[in-house]
């Protein structure tokens, strides 16, 4: 198989998986097997065929169709997109395993539709990862929004419908009002929307126009959840927990911050932004998002709501790294896409396992649960340490490079923001672990019944994935040098 064929297959294969799931809708076992086989085979193609070509400096390209001169659908794999594709395809496997346990354990309805939309969303993520230009990225970015909408509204309740309206309203509204305008402006100014090392706007857009164009991209990418366009993310937590994992780790928000970072590197160019100081304002927007979302998370008693605001905060790290316009910032942001994905998916998996096994959603109700669910809360501890950024967890490396970037850019205020946010992360994550392990369970009801009696671990398929991803947080600490060398192709192509 040629590498170029593998690139096209990586985008089309999840679509074939969706068709197989639909065909097997009457047999749950076949339906879930089709989803799992598709996920495993996709990762095999991405990691086994495409990755080796990129590691030796190749940039496999596949042209599809030219719509207008300088505006066409095309794929090209560069190191940053390669990393995102590895994250999305790899985590699809464990999310599929988890979904089988969760959807069955929670007796969810419309499971076939769930697996079909999940596969379609992954196809969109592959298209975003491998997009050769802003136009192609925009098409697949919108595809992700449309295919995940049925997942957000999965339960069909009034709350789910309301969350879906907010989801579509913000994501489609920002992309059409801002991102599409930025795409057209870029095409008119540069004659192309191609992603090129060093950028395409130098000498073509300058002054305040450069600042406005960057703002259109930053706020037009609503999936990046920069404040004030973040409310869709906490609202979408009405969806089943596997959907929350998809939104926060596998495809949606990572597609958002990936888009912002890729545009900064390959459309603007970090040298242009550093020379003009055009992205300085964006560092402050990201910093405000980081701190404000962390403070809000502190006050949330619902576990998924707390994790949602944690995600808003952590996404700000990636935008901040790109806005610093330094090599270390790009490296740190790229690493954080992978590190945060592994840590946050662990936390959401644990939240779902707690709901399935103990029917608890509020942190204040989780006293003593760690004694009955040690694997789940042990995984939650490891995932929390990675999100906080403590060694030996993968998240410590991405935050290290982001700290270096603030020093390199001479922005010590941003360094203080990163330090403060890590302390706030301790404040909103570690109490969950402390309550579970160190606070005794509630006393009996006076009739010899203990409210915690009978609580145990969730079904095996709900517990195995968070254990694996928690171990993955440790593995990423060891593999940081490999990720660093891959991303060096972005800053030093």
Tell me the DSSP string of 159-187.
Answer: HHHHHHHHHHHHHHHHIIIIIHHHHHHHH
Residue 130 pLDDT greater than 60, yes or no:
yes
In this prediction, residue 450 carries a pLDDT of 53
Reading the block at residue 112, the tokens are 């076939």
In this prediction, residue 5 carries a pLDDT of 93
Residues in the chain: 493
Can you name the residues that pair with 362 across neighbouring β-strands? 302
DSSP H or E run through 72: strand 71-76
| Confidence band of 448 (pLDDT split at 50, 70, 90) | very low
| Confidence band of 238 (pLDDT split at 50, 70, 90) | confident
Over the chain, what is the mean pLDDT?
Answer: 92
| Confidence band of 444 (pLDDT split at 50, 70, 90) | low
Do the Cβ atoms of 139 and 276 come closer than 8 Å? no
In this prediction, residue 364 carries a pLDDT of 94
| Confidence band of 447 (pLDDT split at 50, 70, 90) | very low
In this prediction, residue 147 carries a pLDDT of 93
**What burial letters (b/e) apply to 419-457, b meaning 16+ CB within 10 Å?**
eebbebbbebbebbbebbbeeebeeeeeeeeeebeebeb
In this prediction, residue 208 carries a pLDDT of 93
In this prediction, residue 454 carries a pLDDT of 55
Mean pLDDT of 142-168: 91
196 class by beta-carbon count within 10 Å (0-12 exposed, 13-18 middle, 19+ buried): middle
Reading the block at residue 124, the tokens are 């969109």
pLDDT digits (tens, 9 = 90+) for 456-484: 899 999 999 999 999 999 999 999 999 99
pLDDT digits (tens, 9 = 90+) for 46-103: 999 999 999 999 999 999 998 888 889 999 999 999 999 999 999 999 999 999 988 8
Proportion of the chain above pLDDT 70, given as a percent? 97
pLDDT digits (tens, 9 = 90+) for 381-399: 999 999 999 999 999 999 9
84 Cβ neighbours under 8 A, 6+ residues apart? 125, 128, 129, 254, 255, 258, 337
pLDDT digits (tens, 9 = 90+) for 336-370: 999 999 999 999 999 999 998 888 999 999 999 99
DSSP 210-255: HHHHHHHHHHH-GGG--TTTTTHHHHGGGS-HHHHHIIIIISHHHH
In this prediction, residue 446 carries a pLDDT of 38
Rounded CA separation 253/282 (Å): 18
Residue 493 pLDDT greater than 80, yes or no:
no
pLDDT digits (tens, 9 = 90+) for 210-237: 999 999 999 999 999 999 999 999 988 8
Rounded CA separation 21/10 (Å): 17
Rounded CA separation 305/128 (Å): 27
**What burial letters (b/e) apply to 338-371, b meaning 16+ CB within 10 Å?**
bbbbbbbbbbbbbbbbbbbbbebbebebbbbbbb
The more confidently predicted of residues 362 and 455 is 362
Rounded CA separation 472/4 (Å): 30
Q: Name the nearest CA neighbour of 88 among 321, 310, 255.
A: 255
Contacts by 45-52, CB closer than 8 A, 24 or more apart: 45/6, 45/9, 45/10, 45/13, 46/10, 46/85, 46/86, 46/89, 47/86, 47/89, 47/90, 49/1, 49/3, 49/6, 50/3, 50/6, 50/7, 50/10, 50/77, 50/82, 50/85, 51/82, 51/86
Mean pLDDT of 417-432: 97
Residue 432 pLDDT greater than 90, yes or no:
yes
Residue reference for tokens 């990755």: 51
DSSP H or E run through 66: strand 61-68
| Confidence band of 453 (pLDDT split at 50, 70, 90) | low
299 class by beta-carbon count within 10 Å (0-12 exposed, 13-18 middle, 19+ buried): exposed
29 class by beta-carbon count within 10 Å (0-12 exposed, 13-18 middle, 19+ buried): exposed
Residue 491 pLDDT greater than 60, yes or no:
yes
pLDDT digits (tens, 9 = 90+) for 273-305: 999 999 999 999 999 999 999 999 999 999 999
């Amino acid at each position: 198989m040629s590498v170029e064929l593998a690139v096209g297959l990586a985008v089309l294969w999840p679509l074939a998986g969706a068709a197989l799931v639909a065909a097997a809708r009457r047999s749950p076992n076949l339906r879930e097997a089709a989803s799992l086989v598709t996920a495993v085979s996709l990762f095999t193609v991405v990691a086994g065929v495409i990755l080796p070509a990129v590691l030796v400096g190749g940039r496999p390209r596949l042209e599809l169709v030219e719509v207008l001169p300088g505006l066409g659908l095309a794929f090209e794999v560069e190191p940053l997109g390669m990393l995102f594709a590895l994250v999305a395809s790899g985590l699809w496997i464990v999310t599929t395993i988890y979904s089988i346990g969760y959807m069955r354990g929670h007796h969810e309805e419309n499971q076939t539709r769930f697996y079909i939309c999940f596969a379609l969303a992954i196809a969109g993520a592959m298209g975003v990862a491998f997009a050769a230009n802003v136009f192609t990225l925009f098409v697949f970015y919108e595809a992700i929004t449309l295919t995940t909408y049925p997942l957000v509204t999965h339960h069909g309740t009034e709350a789910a419908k309301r969350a879906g309206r907010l989801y579509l309203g913000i994501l489609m509204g920002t992309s059409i009002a801002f991102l599409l305008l930025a795409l057209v402006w870029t095409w008119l100014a540069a004659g192309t929307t191609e992603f090129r090392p060093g950028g395409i706007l130098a000498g073509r857009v300058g002054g305040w126009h450069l600042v406005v164009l960057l703002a259109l991209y930053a706020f037009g990418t609503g999936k990046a959840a920069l404040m004030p366009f973040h409310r869709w993310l906490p609202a979408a937590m009405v969806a089943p927990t596997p959907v929350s994992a998809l939104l926060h780790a596998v495809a949606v928000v990572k597609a958002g911050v990936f888009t912002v970072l890729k545009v900064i590197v390959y459309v603007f160019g970090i040298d242009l932004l550093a020379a003009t100081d055009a992205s300085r304002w964006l560092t402050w927007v990201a910093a405000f998002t980081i701190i404000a979302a962390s403070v809000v998370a502190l006050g949330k008693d619902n576990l998924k709501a707390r994790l949602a605001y944690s995600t808003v905060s952590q996404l700000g790290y990636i935008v901040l790294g790109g806005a610093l316009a330094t090599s270390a910032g790009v490296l740190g942001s790229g690493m954080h896409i992978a590190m945060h994905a592994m840590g946050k998916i662990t936390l959401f998996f644990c939240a779902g396992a707690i709901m399935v096994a103990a029917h608890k959603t509020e942190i204040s109700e989780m006293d003593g649960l760690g004694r009955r669910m040690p694997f789940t809360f042990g995984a939650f501890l490891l995932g929390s340490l990675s999100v906080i950024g403590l060694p030996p967890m993968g998240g410590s490396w991405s935050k290290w490079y982001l700290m270096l970037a603030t020093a390199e850019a001479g922005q010590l205020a941003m360094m203080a923001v990163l330090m403060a946010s890590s302390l706030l992360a301790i404040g909103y994550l570690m109490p969950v672990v402390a309550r579970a392990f160190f606070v005794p369970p509630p006393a009996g009801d006076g009739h010899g019944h203990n409210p915690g009696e009978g609580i145990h671990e969730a079904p095996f398929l709900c517990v195995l994935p968070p254990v694996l991803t928690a171990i993955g947080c440790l593995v990423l600490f060891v593999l940081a040098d490999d990720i660093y060398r891959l991303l060096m192709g972005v800053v030093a192509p």
